[in-house]
Homo-oligomer: A and B are copies of this chain.
Amino acid sequence: MIQITFPDGAVRQYEAGVTALDVAKSISEGLARKVLAAEVNGEVWDATRPIEQDAALKLLTWDDKGGQNTFWHSSAHLMAEAIEEQFPGVKFWVGPPVENGFYYDVDLGGRQMHEDDLKAIEKRMNELAKQSNPYIRKPIAKAEAVAYFEEKGDEYKLDLLQNLQDGEITFYTQGGFTDLCRGPHIPHTGFIKAIKLTNIAGAYWKGNEQNKMLTRIYGVTFPAQKQLDEYLQMLEEAKKRDHRKLGKELSIFTFDDDVGQGLPLWLPNGTIIIEELEKLAKETEQDAGYKRVVTPHIAKESMYLTSGHLPYYQDSMYPPMELDGTKYYLKAMNCPHHHKIFAAEPKSYKDLPLRLAEYGTCYRYEQSGELFGLMRVRCLHMNDAHIYCTKEQFAQEFRAVNDMYLKYFKIFGIEKYVMRLSLHEPSKLGQKYIDEPELWIETENMVREVLKETGTPFVEVPDEGAFYGPKIDVQIWSAIGREFTLATNQVDFAQGRRFKLEFTNHNNEAETPLIIHRAPLGTHERFIGFLLEHFAGKFPAWLAPLQVKILPISDKFMDYAKSLLAQLKKWDIRAEIDERNEKIGKKIRDTELMKVPYMLVIGEKEQAEGKVAIRRQGKGDMGTEDAAVFIENLKAEISERSKP
- Find chain B residues with CB under 8 A from A328 CB: 260, 318
Taking a contact as CB atoms under 8 Å apart, the answer to whether A259 and B300 are in contact is yes
Taking a contact as CB atoms under 8 Å apart, the answer to whether A258 and B330 are in contact is no
- Find chain B residues with CB under 8 A from A323 CB: 318-319, 365
- Find chain B residues with CB under 8 A from A259 CB: 295-296, 298-300, 303, 337, 340
Alpha-carbon distance A364/B351, docked complex (angstroms): 35
Q: Does A400 contact B (CB under 8 A)?
A: no
Q: How far is the CB of A71 from chain B (nearest CB, A)?
A: 39
Alpha-carbon distance A337/B271, docked complex (angstroms): 14
Selected contact of A260 from candidates B266, B300, B322, B368, CB within 8 Å: B300
* Contact A271 to B292, CB < 8 A, known contacts A259-B340, A328-B318: yes
Selected contact of A293 from candidates B263, B265, B297, B298, CB within 8 Å: B265
Taking a contact as CB atoms under 8 Å apart, the answer to whether B318 and A318 are in contact is no
A window 294-336: CB within 8 A of B: 294-300, 302-303, 306, 318-324, 326, 328, 330, 336
Q: How far is the CB of A526 from chain B (nearest CB, A)?
A: 15
- Find chain B residues with CB under 8 A from A303 CB: 258-259
Q: How far is the CB of A327 from chain B (nearest CB, A)?
A: 10
Interface residue SS majority, chain A: mixed
- Find chain B residues with CB under 8 A from A265 CB: 293-296, 337, 340-341, 344
Alpha-carbon distance A330/B295, docked complex (angstroms): 16
Q: State how many residues of chain A have any CB contact under 8 Å with chain B.
A: 55
A window 107-162: CB within 8 A of B: none
The winner among A264, A274, A292, A356 for most chain B CB atoms within 10 A is: A292
Taking a contact as CB atoms under 8 Å apart, the answer to whether B266 and A293 are in contact is yes
Residue of B nearest to A365 (CB): B323
Taking a contact as CB atoms under 8 Å apart, the answer to whether B326 and A321 are in contact is no
Contact bitstring A261-277, B, C-beta under 8 A = 1, else 0: 00111111011101100
- Find chain B residues with CB under 8 A from A379 CB: 296-298
Contact bitstring A344-382, B, C-beta under 8 A = 1, else 0: 110000000000100001010100100000000001010
Q: Does A291 contact B (CB under 8 A)?
A: yes
The winner among A251, A259, A320, A324 for most chain B CB atoms within 10 A is: A259
Q: Does A256 contact B (CB under 8 A)?
A: yes
Residue of B nearest to A329 (CB): B321
Q: How far is the CB of A525 from chain B (nearest CB, A)?
A: 11
- Find chain B residues with CB under 8 A from A266 CB: 293-295
Alpha-carbon distance A342/B53, docked complex (angstroms): 70
- Find chain B residues with CB under 8 A from A268 CB: 291-293, 356
Q: How far is the CB of A144 from chain B (nearest CB, A)?
A: 46
- Find chain B residues with CB under 8 A from A475 CB: none
Alpha-carbon distance A527/B404, docked complex (angstroms): 35
Taking a contact as CB atoms under 8 Å apart, the answer to whether B319 and A318 are in contact is no
Q: How far is the CB of A377 from chain B (nearest CB, A)?
A: 9
Q: How far is the CB of A294 from chain B (nearest CB, A)?
A: 4
* Contact A267 to B296, CB < 8 A, known contacts A259-B340, A318-B328, A323-B365: no
Instruction: Kindly list the 9 A-B residue pairs having the minimum CB-CB distance in the complex, ordered from nearest.
Output: A268-B291, A266-B294, A258-B303, A254-B344, A263-B296, A271-B292, A256-B340, A296-B379, A259-B299
Q: Can you list 22 contacts pairing A with B, beta carbon distance less than 8 Å?
A: A254-B344, A256-B344, A257-B302, A258-B302, A259-B298, A259-B340, A263-B299, A265-B296, A265-B337, A265-B340, A267-B293, A267-B344, A267-B345, A268-B291, A268-B356, A271-B292, A271-B293, A272-B292, A297-B363, A298-B379, A319-B322, A330-B330
